[in-house]
Structure 1
């Protein structure tokens, strides 16, 4: 039965007893049937509304554990069964305590459920963004098909104002696209042939066709929804401490309740009914519901807000790790830089150098290889076939082209071949200009240089400055030449550069940095995956490879480096809110128990079981409210030039 239904049943059957409590002192009005009517009303509440508490408590008891429901079950059951005994023996009853405690506990849970549903609206809104159908090219004609029938490779037409059905690449046409619902970026993005599009975003101005590359559960929106769901259902490690405390706390409370009863009945001489009221109040006020809500509600709100900002936090563990991060390490290509390197200079015989380089780089997917192939294509240079292909780890590639032994790679090749002083000087000059130099050798002699430049993103400098303003050390970890790496680092303000790193060694360098404190690593490539997994916090760019996104604990959907600081700040504020919630939950119990036990009775301060139940409900509500206020916390409001 739903919590809301149980609450309404409890409320309706409690109201007659509430009416008697108010009207009896004023007008002497009593319920028809007196205590027998109260017994009937309370029995309905116990069987329908309080029953799940009793079942949960019994299930935990059989496993030799106790939980939050244990205290509610014991409190209500004690009040109910004692009142039956008291009614038979002619003593005062307090059936209303059992019904009111149940009502107030359920009232708190109704509010909690409503606030938790509101907190998870980010996921529901994302799901509702999906297009329902699309115009798909079938048998030479565009026909409208439901989303479930779209396949990878289908050509889809999108008109102005329509939603893009799935992820893909534009084949023909240009347009501006509103991607704010997925990336959080308010400005429309101009797209043309060759650019990628995201499913569920909205086409603004032009008509275009695109080829579907990801459908169903593989689309970015589906992956975002799945990540957010997993994060909201995950546990931060601090939750384990909470669970252990709850397990110990409940038996302690029961012991305190027994001691309270004995002190009032044996030593102070109170009646059994009064002593029992104090004991039941202790049990009810101490119910650590707020303690159990402290972590999951904050986690749900924090991850939900992150999703709206284009920051996907995968689990609660990330939040805790972020809190102590001292160093942020960045990959260079595609992370700090645009990731689309272009050839700027060719030193030597242009046709020969590009022809030989293109012959060896034809099968490579490395961004530098792509830049060389593009330059050769632009100059209409045809590459000859390469044979005896061999990769030289960390240096480059080697093959035979037109009977010549050709090598293409970085400056580590220099130890294998000879180079003129003139080319060496030119190479250093290009590297000092933040250009990556590719060396081309034929028959053990370097015959030319290809300079390639990948410029920093417009946001990189501001992003690094913001992290440094927060007291974090910034490091660039790259396989590029040290001169090039330092030139880029100087442009964006990076503190430390670790260059000439082999692809498989990035994780080892991250481990070395971890000796001085926790490390966050930001990357996007396949070779970044080990470092993303090794770092205390892995932050993957949303435009990166699938394996990089899988390895990261945080994913930046917008590919904006400034979101690194926002992600760290949001994670820290979420974790700090968890700690604040736990603090107030503990303080509430510490302060509430002495009052409920009657320690301040002699100055007129007491707490009946029903008021204890109301206070406990509002305690839980205050924790949920505290978590929801995370939506109002300022994140990344400072702009640093």
Structure 2
């Protein structure tokens, strides 16, 4: 624990050091020690103590009894197979144990009125923690002071920032997009939301491999036949040796006792044992087992060279059998960043015209070029003016107007306010200064103007976040708007689609793989993006909040390919429902809301 050497700007004084010690003694610390993976000892025993190994060890013991050490070379295959299995199991354990969804390593808490820097495992229940833009929330908490916007996409798949005020809950694993708050920790360790999801996923799932199942079935079948067949072969071989000895011995001494006494029996029994073991070894597909493990190991190495890490050998075979692929949207089809979808000039009749694209039937541009140029100047100017504390929207605008030839300089910047829902700037233009605001239409425009453009805003909002750009008379010293806001246009912001997404989707369609998009985001947004990348049936979608019974969820699986507002538990249930229908399901995702489905799927790509 280190002091930040900074004054506490908040009214909250936090816990006293005596209260902290009391909670540490009670074990109310932000440490999650529960792991559901097997120990190294258990994994080694599990891979060593197999039916395949048992059969080979029994045969090896019989060979050792005969003293024919050179005939033990078949054990090399056993050692190689066992080594490959142990190595892969330990790698799998290592990867699962490392699974953590909290990336932050430090947190700032208020204790005895002072700000102190803590490791995550030093946070205790009821600690008051300070959270600012860019911070990841280390434990479930409730806002005490201040306001902020939280990005919960890692947890819920919902890409829009969520406004949090005093009394609102902050979920561990999410990030602060904007604002500064002090929050009281309400859960620590295994009680945290992110820890509960983690622990549900921290188990080593049994591999469902047809190749492995077939090999195990062959070994089981062979083991059943080996005992009677081995005894029969041994007795037949020993009897043949005894009969041959009797043909050479005098009739009076041709007895089993005399055969044993003559010393011929030991050599004959050793020979019978070796011949029996040799025959039985042919019943075990040792070469096939080794060949399968070797081929899959080579495939894993080749994938690693392409920066693909296979957690288990047999997942490569499972991927080849996949007939349904479930995709998350945020971070999978999209990059996780925002981009400008388009700018729209506001027309007097309440409609909008896409800047640079819309033309009427006569071929004439349906808006004044001066209006489009003013809209671009306002957007680029506001983005540049507020770039010191750029959120995802501002970053998208900066990228969109990076090559703009004339970006006006800002005389004054009005930072985004979660209470006002807009940002603004006073820009230096050729004909003097001009003041503009950009924000949510219902908060910026007057009632009449908003009603005039409401239908256009709703149409654009079906797939994007919509912000209005308006001209105002100026700003007060407190940063409030002077005069009425006069709309000049709108800008639409959407999730940035990965450049390779459409090509990848096309490949899976050619392979006959059914594609489902299951996301925590708005179903309209998910459907729009799914249509862009070419998901079949993307125009039909369902809001998973309406799937409140197993029957409804089962019916939706058969009808839809786009699911929005899906919880982590529902994602897993969708995968299970597809598996019940006989499908081999692959799941891709990158967030906490995908973890449960990733673990349940036959093949998972994280």
State the TM-score, normalizing by the size of structure 1. 0.40
Higher helix share: 1
State the TM-score, normalizing by the size of structure 2. 0.42
Higher strand share: 2
